[in-house]
Amino acid sequence: MSEFPPDLGADLNTRSIPIIRATEPTPRGQVIVLTGPMGAGKSTIAAELAQRLGWQLIDTDELIVTSHGEIPEIFVERGEDYFRNLEAATINRALDGAANAVISLGGGAVLAEDTRKRIGQLDTVFLSVNEDIALERIGGGANRPVLAGNPQENWRRIFQQRLPLYRQTSTLEIDTSDKDVAAVTEEIIQHFQLA
């Protein structure tokens, strides 16, 4: 007489055992990641896109602020390396839990190799912007410690350094300089056939 539950261990080598799952794994849904320099509009476009799709909005800079306080204070009190580790860990956790989500990253998130590896396998959009428009949008660079001292020169240098990283981790690049928020959002929706 066959026993129930079957003794799988006893029969392991003699017959093939079907894999039985109580439930099928839940589909994780889709994730769109926005990357790019300060002033490209990542946070703004992510909010608009999430609203249009009815998806979850995750802004990793905001997650850091909520849990650890203002970014300039973290830079002053703990230094940039500490912030980058915090940022990479925050992004990892956000990606682990994300399903049907739009994720806006900080401008320097691509500096972390782990982050590059992960977002390079996802639908990642590089939002680009030219220097003049970026500086117009972010004003004097308040609240952005990496621009302190000379926002224009720093923005330009940082953008040049990171440009290859933005490009190697994305599958779509949109120059937002002369496009409004609705137009950029629509371009992403069309490209990934989200609606």
Ligand X SMILES: Nc1ncnc2c1ncn2[C@@H]1O[C@H](COP(=O)(O)OP(=O)(O)OP(=O)(O)O)[C@@H](O)[C@H]1O
Query: Which of ligand SKM, Mg ion, ligand X, none does residue 141 bind (CB under 5 to 8 Å by kind)?
Result: none
**Is residue 98 at the binding interface for ligand SKM, with CB under 6 A as the rule?**
no
The 102-141 contact track toward ligand X, x by CB under 6 A, reads --x-xx-----------------------------xx---
Give me the residue label for tokens 């799952």.
21
**Is residue 154 at the binding interface for ligand X, with CB under 6 A as the rule?**
no
**Is 78 annotated as contributing to ligand binding?**
no
Query: Which of ligand SKM, ligand X, Mg ion, none does residue 101 bind (CB under 5 to 8 Å by kind)?
Result: none
Structure tokens at 136: 């117009």
In the complex, the smallest distance separating the C-beta of residue 175 from ligand X, rounded to whole angstroms, is: 10
**Is residue 108 at the binding interface for ligand SKM, with CB under 6 A as the rule?**
yes
27 burial via Cβ count (<10 Å: 0-12, 13-18, 19+): exposed
The 36-75 contact track toward ligand X, x by CB under 6 A, reads x-xxxxxxx----------------x--------------
Which residue numbers belong to the known binding site for Mg(2+)? 43
Binding site for ligand SKM (CB under 6 A): 38, 61, 71, 106-108, 144-146
Binding site for ligand X (CB under 6 A): 36, 38-44, 61, 104, 106-107, 137-138, 144, 176, 179-181, 184
Binding site for Mg ion (CB under 5 A): 42-43
